[in-house]
Amino acid sequence: MSTPQRPDLTRQLSTTSGDFDTSNPPEVRKYLRTYGLTPPNVESFEVQAQRCLKLLAMKTTPIEKFQYLTHLRATNVHLFYRLLSENVKELTPLIYTPTVGEACVRWSEIFTQPEGLYLSWHDKGNLRQILDNWPHDVEITVLTDGSRILGLGDLGVNGMGIPIGKLALYTACAGIRPDATLPLTVDLGTGNKALREDPLYMGSRRPKVTAEEEREFLDELMAALTDKWPSIVIQFEDWKNPFPSLERYQNTYTMFNDDVQGTGAVIVGGFINAVKASGIPAKDHRAVFLGAGSAGVGVAKQIVEFFIKEGLTEEEARRKFYFFDSNGLVTLDRGDKLAEHKVYFARDDNNGRQYQSLSRLIDFVRPTILMGLSTIGGAFNHDILTKMAKLNDKPIIFPLSNPSSKSECTFEEAVRATDGRVLFASGSPFPSLEHNGKYLTPGQGNNMYVFPGIGLGAILSKAVSVTQDMIYASAESLSTSLNKNEVADGWLYPDIRRIREVSVIVTRGVIRAAQQNGVDRVPELRTLSDAQLDAYIKEHMYDPFNERENVGDEVAQLLATASGIGNAKDFTNGYTNGHAAHL
Ligand X SMILES: NC(=O)C1=CN([C@@H]2O[C@H](COP(=O)(O)OP(=O)(O)OC[C@H]3O[C@@H](n4cnc5c(N)ncnc54)[C@H](OP(=O)(O)O)[C@@H]3O)[C@@H](O)[C@H]2O)C=CC1
What is the biggest distance separating any 2 CA atoms in the chain, rounded to whole angstroms? 88
x/- string (CB under 6 A) for ligand CC(=O)C(=O)O, residues 144-173? ------x-----------------------
Element (H, E) at 499: helix 499-517
Nearer to Mg ion, 139 or 259 (CB): 259
The interface with ligand CC(=O)C(=O)O within residues 192-211 (CB under 6 A) comprises none
Per rule CB under 6 A, is residue 447 in the interface with ligand CC(=O)C(=O)O?
Answer: yes
What is the rounded distance in angstroms from the CA atom of residue 120 to the CA atom of residue 94?
29
CB atoms within 10 A of CB 393: 11
Nearer to ligand CC(=O)C(=O)O, 238 or 547 (CB): 238
Q: Are 183 and 119 in contact (CB under 8 A)?
A: no
What is the rounded distance in angstroms from the CA atom of residue 410 to the CA atom of residue 406?
10
Q: Is 166 a catalytic residue?
A: yes
x/- string (CB under 6 A) for ligand X, residues 516-555? ----------------------------------------
What is the rounded distance in angstroms from the CA atom of residue 402 to the CA atom of residue 97?
7
Cβ partners under 8 Å of residue 496, min gap 6:
88, 89, 92, 444
Candidates 9-17, 57-65, 368-376, 411-419 — which segment interacts with ligand X by CB under 6 A? Answer: 368-376
What is the rounded distance in angstroms from the CA atom of residue 343 to the CA atom of residue 277?
31
Closest listed residue to residue 111, CA positions, set 148, 57, 74? 74
Count of residues engaged in binding ligand X, rule: CB under 6 A: 29
For 309-378, the DSSP string reads: HTT--HHHHHTTEEEEETTEE-BTTSSS---HHHHTT-BS-STT-----HHHHHHHH--SEEEE-SS-TT
What is the rounded distance in angstroms from the CA atom of residue 366 to the CA atom of residue 388?
8
x/- string (CB under 5 A) for Mg ion, residues 184-223? ----------------------------------------
Q: Which does 441 bind (CB under 5 to 8 A by kind): Mg ion, ligand CC(=O)C(=O)O, ligand X, none?
A: none
Question: Of 154, 259, 413, 476, which one interacts with Mg ion (CB under 5 A)?
Answer: 259
Q: Are 103 and 48 in contact (CB under 8 A)?
A: no
What is the rounded distance in angstroms from the CA atom of residue 370 to the CA atom of residue 425?
11
Q: Are 449 and 174 in contact (CB under 8 A)?
A: no
Q: CB-based burial of residue 568 (10 Å sphere; 0-12 exposed, 13-18 middle, 19+ buried)?
A: buried
Q: Are 293 and 243 in contact (CB under 8 A)?
A: no
Question: Of 102, 214, 238, 520, which one interacts with Mg ion (CB under 5 A)?
Answer: 238
What is the rounded distance in angstroms from the CA atom of residue 150 to the CA atom of residue 128?
29
Nearest residue (beta carbon) to ligand X: 293
DSSP bridge pairs for 372: 290, 399
Q: Is 96 a catalytic residue?
A: yes
x/- string (CB under 6 A) for ligand X, residues 93-132? ----------------------------------------
Among candidate residues 81, 96, 249, 536, the one labeled active-site is 96
The interface with ligand X within residues 236-295 (CB under 6 A) comprises 259, 263, 266, 290-295
Q: Which does 102 bind (CB under 5 to 8 A by kind): Mg ion, ligand CC(=O)C(=O)O, ligand X, none?
A: none
Question: Of 139, 154, 259, 325, which one interacts with ligand CC(=O)C(=O)O (CB under 6 A)?
Answer: 259
Return binding residues for a divalent metal cation: 237-238, 259
Question: Of 296, 367, 457, 509, which one interacts with ligand X (CB under 6 A)?
Answer: 296
Per rule CB under 5 A, is residue 154 in the interface with Mg ion?
Answer: no
**By the criterion CB under 5 A, which residues form the site for Mg ion?**
238, 259
**By the criterion CB under 6 A, which residues form the site for ligand X?**
148, 150-151, 259, 263, 266, 290-296, 324-327, 373-376, 400-402, 406, 427, 445-447
**By the criterion CB under 6 A, which residues form the site for ligand CC(=O)C(=O)O?**
97, 150, 238, 258-259, 402, 427, 446-447
Instruction: Please identify every residue annotated as catalytic.
Output: 96, 166
